[in-house]
Structure 1
Amino acid sequence: MGIDAIEEFRKSHGINTKGNLAGILQLNRAFSKDTLPINPDDYLTGKEGQVKGLSGANCQSILEEYHIKRVLASEGGRTSRGLMGIMKDYAALINEERPSSKDFSEIERFWIDRIRKFFNSKPFRLEADESLSITAAVGNLLEQAKKRQKENPGTMYEGTVLQQLVAAKLSIIMPEVEINGASVADDPTGRGGDFNIGDTAIHCTTAPATLLMEKCQRNIKNGLHPIIITVKDRVKTAWDLAADMGFAERLEVWDIQSFLSTNVHEHGHFSQDERKTMLTDLVTSYNKIIDTYETDPSLRIEYSN
């Protein structure tokens, strides 16, 4: 069996993200131990909502055979959107090609190579062009994340970058602030928002919606002051929703571009050299957060002043 068919499958199914890569690696290993033809029904959970047998531990055990210690996906792709269809189509491909044991080993090395490339993927870039305002530079950064998100449906690059940039800024001025991965939901952890500081609950989102507004109302009921940090073109959306629900006067809504720009200018004492230092500190803090709390290294930011 040729690797060309596997590469074509990868491209046609958009297998570029951590969840899909983790899932396909485990499926390939499972299929290699199964009897052909593969019956996709054997890989369905009871409710057919997820692919059976996938886990973070199982994925890592395979990676460690190739001396890869980094965590690819904490849940091993189990909850990745679209993986059910990928599993069924991959089973069909394997049944058609009928790879030998040697072929399966070669295919596994192919997926391992793709995972290594994923870990070494190009970071986002924060422009160091002095002709650009901080607001514009941050806007360009978010556009990069938005573009990558469109190229990889089911991912949340823009939202993750936004939240962890906020985390980076907060951790510089308040090192004790609690930080979580962007995919960690508030409610199961008992948090009122993405960040709880004093009597304030900070929510980070690229798309304010009714559910978030209801969460802000619960914050108010519990004696907290809610703040929403979003992208510039969604600020009005948040205000309009809050006004419709009758609590706009008890809410703060900030755009991430101004939130960061104000901080950099103030703490940089409105000096060009100190602004560069502040941006360097912000990016350093952000990258440390990505390395600690996220599993996708392509979320890192490159900045050279």
Structure 2
Amino acid sequence: MLLADHGEIRKFTREGGRTSRKTIVLAAQLADTINSTGTAAGVHALGLAERHALARLLQAWFVDRVWEDYFGRQKISADIDPAWSIRAVVASLIAAGRDRGGNSAGAIVQHLVGAKLEIRFPLEEINGESYTTADLQTQRAGDYQIGDTAIHVTMAPGPDVFQGRCLENLKQGFRPRVLVPKDQLLRAEVHAEDAGIANRVAIQTIEDFVGTNIEEVAGFRQDKVRAELRRLLEIYNARIEVAEADQSLKVVIPENL
């Protein structure tokens, strides 16, 4: 309840909400410390409104500790079942990223695509910059470039993707391919139509782009699919290790993979 009052709605460890006899003692000691510090600073009894404001500030400080010390250090934990299709696993990872908020989902899909490309094209040099690195900074035609194809990975395809980057790709002789989450596919197709390049740009879901290739590499055999899924996640984590300052973007790999 306290976390939700301050805008933090993610599931917190059950132990975080438990109290014990020692908790009450520590809370009393904290109150004594705050009161004595106020007295030493010449602050006397506060009015009701001031007490509420102070309590709100103290609560916010504790919520920040939960965010930094718990959520900020927890790896991405998603439902991953070895019996699932790779497509379903990717969808679960996207959902986990969205639940975390911020740019997490965007970073996850970019590095999942990069990991998939490393597996599919072992002889190619797949770039591994941070999610926030712009294409122009690296002189790339897209987030990834394979042969004459510029690959753009986006969670929210807008007009700028098609009227900007994709049109520029076409002028430069590249074949643009835009990868989006499944629920953004129709939106992307509409923007491509509006830009007049619907027949010149490939639009595909991230779930299918990653999932189909990994299953093909595994020869569509269940035992090998499981091994390739583990390899995908290991390569993903290795990319996060190198490229991102936020190491909590790493994925918890189930022991049964």
| Equivalent residues in 2 for 1:74-85, closer than 5 Å | none
The Cα shift of 1:303 comes to 2.4
- From the superposition, tell whether residues 127 and 113 of structure 1 become closer, same or farther in structure 2 (CA, over 3 Å): closer
Q: Give the TM-score, by structure 1 length.
A: 0.60
* Aligned residue runs from structure 1 range 263-274, under 5 A: 263-274=213-224
1:12–1:226 Cα change, 3 Å: same
Structure 1 residue 221: Cα displacement:
0.5
2:127 aligned residue: 178
Q: Choose the corresponding residue for 1:187, options 129, 136, 141.
A: 136
Identity %: 32
Q: How far apart, CA to CA, are the structure 2 residues paired with 1:264 and 1:188? A: 30
Deviation string 1:104-147 (CA, Å, 9 cap, x unpaired) is xxx9xx988964545631422351241x3322222122111111
What amino acid is the match of 1:160?
Answer: A
Q: Cα distance, 1:286 vs. partner?
A: 0.1
Instruction: Give runs of aligned pairs for residues 219-234 of structure 1, distance below 5 A.
Output: 219-234=169-184
Seen in structure 2, the aligned counterparts of structure 1 residues 13 and 244 have a Cα distance that, compared at 3 Å, is closer
Q: CA deviation at 1:223?
A: 0.9
Distance, in Å, in 1 between the alignment partners of 2:82 and 2:115 is 21
Tell me the equivalent position of 1:147.
Answer: 99
Residue 200 of structure 1 is matched in structure 2 by 149
Task: Look up the equivalent residue of 2:90 and give its one-letter code.
Answer: V
Distance 1:303 1:167 in 2: 18
Q: TM-score by structure 2 length?
A: 0.70
SS at match of 1:124: coil
In 2, the alpha carbon distance for the partners of 1:260 and 1:216 equals 21
Map of 1:90-101 to 2, 5 A cutoff?
none
Q: Retained in 1: the 8 A contact 2:87–2:212?
A: no
Structure 2: distance between partners of 1:297 and 1:265: 28
> Deviation per CA, 1:279-301, whole angstroms, max 9, x where unpaired?
01100000000111012222111
Contact 1:135 1:258 in 2 (8 A): yes
Deviation at 1:265, TM superposition (A): 1.4
Cα-Cα RMSD: 2.9
Gaps of 5+ in 2: 11-40, 42-52
Does residue 195 of structure 2 align to residue 248 of structure 1?
no
Aligned residue for 1:259?
Answer: 209
Q: 1:205-262: CA deviations, max 9, x gaps?
A: 0111011112100010011111101101111211111112111111011101111221
* 1: CA distance, partners of 2:138 / 2:7: 34
Partner of 2:185: 235
The reply to whether residue 159 of structure 1 matches residue 120 of structure 2 is no
Would you say how many aligned residue pairs link Structure 1 and Structure 2?
206
Q: Following the alignment from structure 2 to structure 1, what is the Cα–Cα distance between the partners of residues 79 and 214?
A: 14
Residues 250 and 113 from structure 1, CA distance in 2 versus in 1: closer, same or farther, beyond 3 angstroms? closer
Question: Residue 125 of structure 1 contacts residue 303 of structure 1 at CA under 8 Å; is this kept in 2?
Answer: no
Contact 1:123 1:297 in 2 (8 A): no
Quick one: structure 1 residues 228 and 114, their matched pair in 2 at CA, closer, same or farther if it must change by over 3 Å? closer
Give the equivalent residue in structure 2 for 1:66: none
Q: 1:210 aligns with which of 135, 146, 159?
A: 159
Of structures 1 and 2, the one with the larger relative CO (CA 8 A, separation 6+) is 2
**Paired residue type of 1:202:** I
The separation in 1 between residues aligned to 2:82 and 2:230, in whole angstroms, is 14
Distance in 2 (alpha carbons) for counterparts of 1:202 and 1:164? 13
1:301 paired to 2:248 = no
In structure 1, the residue corresponding to 2:142 is in which secondary structure? coil
User: Could you tell which deviates more after superposition, 264-273 or 295-304?
Assistant: 295-304
Q: Show structure 1 runs of 5+ residues with no match.
A: 1-7, 17-35, 37-91, 98-106, 150-154
